[in-house]
Structure 1
Amino acid sequence: MIKRVCVYCASSARIDPVYFEATERLARQLVRHNIQVVYGGGAVGLMGKLADTVLAEGGSILGIMPQFMNEVEWAHKAVKEFVFVADMHERKKRFLEGVDAVVALPGGCGTLEELMEVITLKRLGLFAQPIIILNTKGYYDPLAQMLERCITEKFMADSHRDMWRFVDEPEAVIPAIQNSPSWNSGAIQDAALK
């Protein structure tokens, strides 16, 4: 049963409208399945679209944001559930507490950094939940190629492909979560290739 999902996404408002539309569709799917959304707490870009849609559909959303971002008024005013933390490191740690999956939408360096960290944590057996990458408009094609190259060049094992799933449409996210292979804390035994 999926109860809570963390969504990594961007704060840029200048991006192609196709990304906003995909975010809205994903938000509706999450609300329809009664899944609480955990996100970065922002009010603009895909973060804003995600929160606006979840709230408009009557869903539950939790924002997690460093205090310094709140001080420059980045926090979404309509999101009632908020956790303000000391820094970015604590934010990323809190994102993963009690979630049943992580979903990465297209984004910039912050989104990429969060995504690579959670993949690394999974490789080490410190996070065991599904990681779903929404590849709207082929945005993450270069990342898929890079991760595959990590495996073919033996920087990662073949089994590491099970750590993530790329999907092209928002409606494929929940089925991808449900059908992701299990992962356990023993993964650290295979983290280093010998």
Structure 2
Amino acid sequence: MRICVFLSAADLDDRYTRPAREFAELLGKGGHTLVWGGSDSGLMKVVADGVQETGGRLCGVSVTFLAASARPGADEMVIAENLAERKRLLVEKADAVVVMVGGTGTLDEATEVLELKKHGHTDKPVVLLNTAGFYDGLKAQLRRMEDEGFLPRPLADLVFFAEEPAGALACLEAATSTAAAVGQGVG
């Protein structure tokens, strides 16, 4: 499976890097491909290292103004002209999406994929990895949007909140195997 991970390129505390590394190692050991922003710094580097060191593949999508910090040695590296093209390519190249901790760029990517899913432009599973309660506020806001009628689909149809890495990957694997079975006329 090709899994897009939206996350920070910042150097972060161990409470964020340890679970990110754990998730990355699960991806690599599972033979999955990481589709990510292509950076070789911060949390992006931690995840790319973990995937690559455990046998997974790397598909980076950087952007022109960040190309100098793109990871050397990725299996595939695409350089987009702008951030909009980068987001589009990240989602297109993946079978599923995981949102890890990050700043405004990560939040922008997360809300865009949720908006695409809300309107039926993608059916890819989306998981927010709520490391150390990082997305508790967003989870509460999305639930309020659902409760007050701002979402035309149930929140559970849009996103799954995982509290730990193994749960995030299990959700993705279950969703993609169910989709494959339905696509083959099973289920």
1:74, CA displacement in angstroms?
A: 1.4
TM-score by length of 2: 0.89
User: Is contact 1:67-1:87 (8 Å) kept?
Assistant: yes
Q: Deviations over 1:135-189 (max 9, x none)?
A: 0000000000000010111111462332100011101112111344989xxxxxx
Whether 2:27 is the aligned partner of 1:25: answer no
Whether 2:4 is the aligned partner of 1:10: answer no
- Report the CA distance shift for 1:151/1:62 in structure 2 as closer, same or farther (over 3 A): same
Find the partner of 1:162 among 157, 160, 183: 157
1:46, CA displacement in angstroms?
A: 1.0
SS at match of 1:30: helix
Task: Identify unmatched segments of 5+ residues in structure 2.
Answer: 180-187
Aligned to 2:60: 63
Find the partner of 1:172 among 160, 167, 170: 167
Cα distance in structure 1, aligned partners of 2:93 and 2:41? 26
1:78, CA displacement in angstroms?
A: 3.2
User: How many residue pairs are counted as aligned between the two chains?
Assistant: 178
In the TM superposition, structure 1's runs of 4+ consecutive aligned residues that sit over 4 Å from their partners are 180-183
Cα distance in structure 1, aligned partners of 2:175 and 2:87? 22
Q: Deviations over 1:36-89 (max 9, x none)?
A: 11000111111010111122223201110111211xx21112324200111111
SS at match of 1:18: helix
Aligned to 1:108: 103
SS at match of 2:26: helix
Whether 2:115 is the aligned partner of 1:117: answer no
Report the identity percentage: 33
Cα distance in structure 1, aligned partners of 2:75 and 2:113? 26
Cα distance in structure 1, aligned partners of 2:59 and 2:94? 12
Aligned to 1:186: none
Q: Once superposed, what is the RMSD of the aligned Cα atoms?
A: 1.7
SS at match of 1:84: strand
Q: Deviations over 1:119-150 (max 9, x none)?
A: 00000110111000100000000000000010
TM-score by length of 1: 0.86
Higher helix share: 2
SS at match of 2:69: coil
User: Is contact 1:165-1:180 (8 Å) kept?
Assistant: no
Aligned to 1:188: none
Cα distance in structure 2, aligned partners of 1:7 and 1:30? 11
SS at match of 2:154: helix
Aligned to 1:97: 92
Letter in 2 for 1:38: V
